[in-house]
Amino acid sequence: MRAFFARKALKAFGVHYSYDVSYMLQMLRVSPVAFFRFAALTKVAQHRGAVPREAFYAAKIVGALAEDCGPSVQLAVDMAQEAGMSDRCIQAVLTRDLSAMDVDTVIGFRFADALVKRAPEEDDARAVVRQQWGDAGLVELTLATQIGRIFPMVKTGLGFGKACRKVRVGRHSVVVPGRAA
C-alpha cells in the first residue's frame, strides 16, 4: 500500500517538474526499504528557516552542478523559480557571475562553491555565513549544498544519469560553463 502511494507521488513529482523519476521507481521496485530510507532525504534537502531563499537555492544549485550536467540542475533551478528566486539571480549562479548576484546569493554561492571544491577560502566563506545567519544558517547551507549532490550520484550509480542538456531559466537556455551541452 505504501509503495502504491509512493509510486503515485513520484509520478506526480516527475510530471510537475518534467523530471525523469525512473531511478527512484526502480529503487522502489527492487529495494523498497532502501527507497523509503532514501526518500527521507527529501525532507532534509528542503529544510530552510534561517537563511534567505536566494542563499539557500544558490547553494542547492551549486551542489547539483557539482555532480550533474543537466536534469538535476534543472530540477534545482525549477524549485528555485517556484520558490520565487529571480531568474536574474538563478542565471548568475549558473554562469558564476558574482556581479549579477544580490548579497544573499553571493554568500550562499561562495560558501557552496568553496565547499564542493574543498577550496582554501572555505573557512572564510563559512565565517561569513556564520556571521550573517549563525550556526543554524551554516547547517542549512551545508545541507542544501550536500544533500542535493546525493540524488544525481544515486541516479548515476543506478545507471540513469546519462543525459546532459542546457538548463532553462524562464524562457532562456543557459549554457553552464563546463557543464551542460
On the 0-12 / 13-18 / 19+ scale of CB atoms within 10 A, 139 is middle
Q: Write out the three cell numbers for 73.
A: 540542475
What number of other Cβ atoms are within 10 A of residue 8's Cβ?
10
Report which of 148, 141, 147, 151 is spatially closest to residue 48, judged by C-alpha positions: 141
Pairing of strands 172-174, 167-169: antiparallel
Q: Write out the three cell numbers for 50.
A: 534561517
Q: Write out the three cell numbers for 58.
A: 544558490
In a domain, 20, yes or no: no
What is the total residue count of the chain?
Answer: 181
Q: How far is CA 72 from CA 160, 170, 176, in A?
A: 12, 16, 13
pLDDT at position 177: 66
Domain limits at 90?
Answer: 40-174
Domain count, the chain: 1
In a domain, 24, yes or no: no
In a domain, 12, yes or no: no
Residue 163 has pLDDT above 70, yes or no: no
In a domain, 95, yes or no: yes
In a domain, 26, yes or no: no
pLDDT at position 166: 78
In a domain, 33, yes or no: no
Q: What is the pLDDT of residues 78-129, one digit of tens each?
A: 999 999 999 999 999 999 999 999 999 999 999 999 999 999 999 999 999 9
In a domain, 30, yes or no: no
pLDDT at position 170: 84
On the 0-12 / 13-18 / 19+ scale of CB atoms within 10 A, 153 is middle
pLDDT at position 178: 57
In a domain, 22, yes or no: no
